[in-house]
Amino acid sequence: MDENHADTTSSMSSVHPTSEPTAHRARAQVERAPSIRPTMSDSPISHHSGDKPPEKPQDDEAAGADAASTEEQKAQMEQAYAQMRRKLRITQLAEGIKHKVMVLSGKGGVGKTTVATGLALSLARQGLSVGLMDIDITGPNVPKMLGVSGAELHVEEGQIHPVPGPHGVKIISMAFLLEDEDAPVIWRGPIKLGAIQQFIGDVAWGELDALIIDFPPGTSDEPLTVAQSLPNISGVVVVTTPQDVALLDSRKSINFAKTLKLPCLGVIENMAGYTLRGRGEPNTSISVDGPEGTPIETECDADGNWQVTLDLFKFGGGESAAEELGVPFLGRLPFDPGIVRGGDDGVHRIVADPDGDSAKAFEIVVKNLQAQLTEDSGPSLKII
Ligand SMILES: Nc1ncnc2c1ncn2[C@@H]1O[C@H](COP(=O)(O)OP(=O)(O)OP(=O)(O)O)[C@@H](O)[C@H]1O
Ligand SMILES: [Mg+2]
């Protein structure tokens, strides 16, 4: 919006405030200029609409008041245009990103961030261009898990440039804006939503094959705002651990996707089993004490190697929940103490041990996810 344009629309009767201004501001305008008609229209500015009331002649005092309110209107118009530009950018941005995947869980601590970072890294290892957006505003962990905490955001021409992470994953996180990582962030509703929209609209992602979006637990403001602000979301991935309590909550995430008419791309079962490995006499049986002392029998192979998988949090719950709710099951990720260490050290397990069990499990999950994303444009995608 240029200045000239702003001036030609400065007649108060021609300005429709956006739905954003505060009640206070709207009231002040009405007092000074009765001809302003506040409206909830999406279009912030309307040029000389046909139904406007005739303008009253202005005396000197009114002209003075006009000058003051013109400044206010200009500010409003700037705000309105900033919003319009952001909407436009969001639309353009959405076009440049092939797949947008939201990672959700009903329960906290089930491994959303681990999974979101793992999906991003696995896809990037295939040579794809991947972005990772950390929408967990109050507890943003992505930078720490990927070893880029403390990175400085680069802003150019009003656009925020994401921080490059391992395998070239482009990362954006509220953590980059926090001066003190340990200070709690308390955002009231509208500010939080504004920040999320800014995150979506003001980031220079460029062309991406996939954007993975990590959320705080639950189905509250954050996923709702993203779902409503970002067009053409490919779908939702639900992370769960295998036990019943977590599964109950993950059903809520699946129903959330359903309510918003977003495809549920599938369920991932995390911390599915812990594999113990050892060595013994080749071709002999051995017995391992499992949970609660239950003996588990296994065989040593010809080289004397044996392995046993302990289902720490039950087994198969994610798969049966997916089946029950009619959504795809994308696979299970093992319980891996290396994931905990990697998360704390900032070296993701996939980076530290690219051929290990976790990296391989992620590859399978990603393959299944990609199959769902490919079906996205075809007729057989299961839209719940
Ligand atoms: N497969 C796994 N094996 C072992 N530890 C894991 C696994 N997945 C996640 N963890 C660990 O569990 C903890 C929680 O994981 P993470 O932060 O990814 O969960 P989250 O769902 O994002 O949590 P929040 O709800 O707080 O955002 C972390 O310490 C992480 O290292
Ligand atoms: Mg998290």
Q: Does the CB atom of residue 225 touch ligand 1 within 6 A?
A: no
Distance of CA 317 from the midpoint of ligand 1 (Å): 18
What confidence score (pLDDT) does residue 177 get? 78
CB-ligand 1 contact for 326 (6 Å cutoff) = no
Q: Where on the phi/psi map is residue 114: left (φ > 0), alpha (ψ -120 to 50), or beta? A: alpha
The half-sphere exposure of 317 on its side-chain side, counting CA atoms within 13 A, is 24
pLDDT in tens, 173-223: 988 877 776 766 676 777 778 888 888 888 999 999 999 999 999 887 889
Q: How many CB atoms lie within 10 A of CB 171?
A: 24
Q: What angle do CA 21, 24, 27 make, to 5 degrees?
A: 95
In this prediction, residue 59 carries a pLDDT of: 67
The finding on whether 275 has its CB within 6 A of some atom of ligand 1 is no
- What is the reported pTM? 0.77
Determine the pLDDT at residue 246.
61
Q: Note the pLDDT tens digit of each residue in 70-98.
A: 888 888 888 888 778 777 888 888 889 99
Question: In the prediction, which pLDDT does 99 show?
Answer: 96
pLDDT at site 353: 93
Asked whether the beta carbons of 349 and 356 are under 8 A apart, the reply is yes
The closest ligand to the CA of 350 turns out to be 1
Ligand 1 test: best mutation among 102, 113, 351, 362, most atoms within 8 Å of CB?
Answer: 113
Q: What is the pLDDT of residues 119-149, one digit of tens each?
A: 999 999 999 999 999 998 878 899 999 999 8
pLDDT higher than 90, residue 62: no
For residue 341, list its beta bridge partners: none
Supply the pLDDT for residue 70: 86
pLDDT tens-digit readout, 343-372: 889 999 999 999 999 999 999 999 999 999
Q: How far apart are the first and last CA of the chain?
A: 42
> What's residue 58's pLDDT?
57
Ligand 1, atom 23: nearest CA belongs to which residue? 109
Number of residues written out for the chain: 384
Amino acid code (one letter) for 90: I
Please state the rounded mean pLDDT for residues 323-345. 91
pLDDT at 8 over 50: no
Q: How remote is the CA of residue 50 from the centroid of ligand 1, in Å?
A: 59
| Residue of 383 and 279 predicted with greater confidence | 279
- What is the phi/psi pair of residue 47, to 5°? -90, 110
Q: Where are any strands of DSSP class E within the chain? A: 97-104, 130-134, 154-156, 159-161, 163-164, 170-173, 208-214, 235-240, 264-269, 274-279, 285-289, 295-299, 305-310, 329-332
Nearest in space to 315 (alpha carbons), one of 269, 360, 356? 269
In the predicted structure, residue 69 carries a pLDDT above the cut 70: yes
Kindly tell me if the per-residue pLDDT of 290 is higher than 90.
no
Using the atom order of ligand 1, give the atom closest to the CA of residue 217.
25
The per-residue pLDDT for 376 is 52
Which residue is closest in CA terms to ligand 1's atom 29? 340
| pLDDT for res 102 | 97
How does the average pLDDT of the chain come out, rounded?
79
262 CB less than 6 Å from ligand 1? no
Section 375-382 average pLDDT: 45
Q: What is the pLDDT of residues 15-54, one digit of tens each?
A: 233 333 333 333 333 233 232 222 323 322 223 333 444 4
Q: Lowest-pLDDT range, 39-43, 137-141, 150-154, 375-379?
A: 39-43
Band the pLDDT of 57: cuts 50, 70, 90: low
**Pairwise pLDDT comparison (243 vs 298), residue with the higher score:** 298
Whole-number Å distance between alpha carbons of 249 and 379: 29
pLDDT of residue 74: 87
Q: Residues 286-304: what's their mean pLDDT?
A: 87
Cα-to-centroid distance, 115 and ligand 2 (Å): 9
What average pLDDT does this structure show over 138-164? 90
Q: Which pLDDT band, with edges at 50, 70 and 90, does 104 fall under?
A: very high
Q: Cβ(335) to ligand 1 under 6 A?
A: yes
> What is the DSSP secondary-structure string of 7-41?
HHT-SGGGB---S-S-HHHHHHHHHH-TT------
222: tokens are 């954050």
> Taking 70 as the threshold, does the pLDDT of residue 298 lie above it?
yes
Give the number of whichever ligand sits closest to the CA of residue 108: 1
Whether residue 277 is predicted with pLDDT greater than 80 in this model: the reply is yes
Contact indicator for 326, 384 with CB cutoff of 8 Å:
yes
Cα distances (Å, whole numbers) of residue 118 to 114, 169, 172, 248, 384:
6, 11, 15, 24, 25
- Is the pLDDT reported for residue 248 higher than 80? no
Asked whether 106 lines ligand 1 (CB < 6 A), one says no
CA gap 296, 205 in Å, rounded: 50
Rounded Cα distance, 376 and 378, in Å: 6
What the block records as the tokens of 382 is 């299961």
109 CA closest ligand 1 atom index = 23
Residue 100 has pLDDT above 80, yes or no: yes
Residue whose CA lies nearest to ligand 1 atom number 28? 340
Q: What is the mean pLDDT of residues 103-110?
A: 91
Identify the pLDDT of residue 134. Answer: 95
Q: Tell me if 246 CB under 6 Å of ligand 1.
A: no
For 231-269, the three-class secondary structure string (H helix, E strand, C coil) is: CCCCEEEEEECCCHHHHHHHHHHHHHHHHCCCCEEEEEE
Beta bridge partners of 100: 211
